[in-house]
Amino acid sequence: MKNKTIVLGVSASVAAYKSAQLVSEFKKKGITVHVVMTKNSTEFITPLTMQVLSGNPVHTDTMKEAAADKVNHIALAQNCDLVLIAPATANIIGKLSNGIADDMLTTVCMAVPIDTPKIIAPAMNTKMYEQPVTVDNLNKLKSYGYEEIKPISEMLACGDVGIGALAPVTEIVDYVVDKLSIQNA
């Protein structure tokens, strides 16, 4: 997996803490990880944590350019082998499925070449996940080439039991590694 680069998008779910585990596991496999966080996700886990784990700057604001000689969201989008959004909230799924690019994560996703794999791993309350609008938005994203790593059923942060918990970190890592391996073939 050396010489592979992914963009890990983190949206505002309680499951955001698991994104730190994802970064750590990807790094162990030699994958370069660039983390892009929504503003609200930084309330669940800090950019500093993700920066230390990834060894790269964390991107949270479309208007903050790290280098004057490049457009940050374009550079991230064009220099990655895969985009993973984990956790993916109903909000980020809705924005992406409707072409809304109003933050760093959605802007990067909109700039990714069409043939670059894009994977979402939803995490939300069962009722949110099962809403017809969420189902429609997921189906629309799939028609645009996104792949879904389905959430699992367990006790959620709100105390409800049902589908909506982020898939296990090992399952997500294995899925991404398999996808990157197919690119090498």
Among this protein's residues, is 109 annotated catalytic? no
Q: Can you point out the beta strands (E) in 38-117?
A: 82-88
Alpha helices by DSSP H, listed for 89-166, are: 90-97, 104-111, 126-130, 132-143
Nearest to 164, CA basis, from 121, 120, 134, 129: 129
**Candidate list 74, 135, 158, 161, residue with the active-site label:** 158
**Count of helix runs (H) and strand runs (E) in the chain:** 8, 7
**Contact predicate 105/9, CB 8 Å:** yes
Catalytic amino acids? 158
